[in-house]
Amino acid sequence: MSDCLFCGIAAGDIPADVIYRDEDFVVFRDIVPTAPTHILVIPVQHHENIAELANADVELAGRFVQTATTVAQQEGVHEGFRLVTNTGDEGGQSVRHVHLHVLGGRQLGWPAG
């Protein structure tokens, strides 16, 4: 999708602080972090949200979570971390390309939102 910010990052056309890349996923630091560790995991292939991804490719959806978990551990958030994906307007989704926020490095509060 030519107008998708995250597709542009995945393609390398838009700069980002990329910390991991493979043929299916790109991981980069959030430009407005809300925790000491705040990274985003995106699939290279465009899917609007987690529901669309899960319905289209359950195997890729599983590797999406696995990649986020692996990168979280590599980033040193061994005491705990949170994975967040926002879906739709009421879910707070601002970029219409599925992504996981990996948050850690401090005590995270609950309830979220």
Q: Which residues are catalytic?
A: 99
With CA atoms as reference, report the closest residue to 76 among 46, 110, 106: 106
End-to-end CA distance of the chain: 30
Question: Please, which residues bridge with residue 82 across strands?
Answer: 103
Backbone angles phi, psi at 44, to 5 degrees: -65, -40
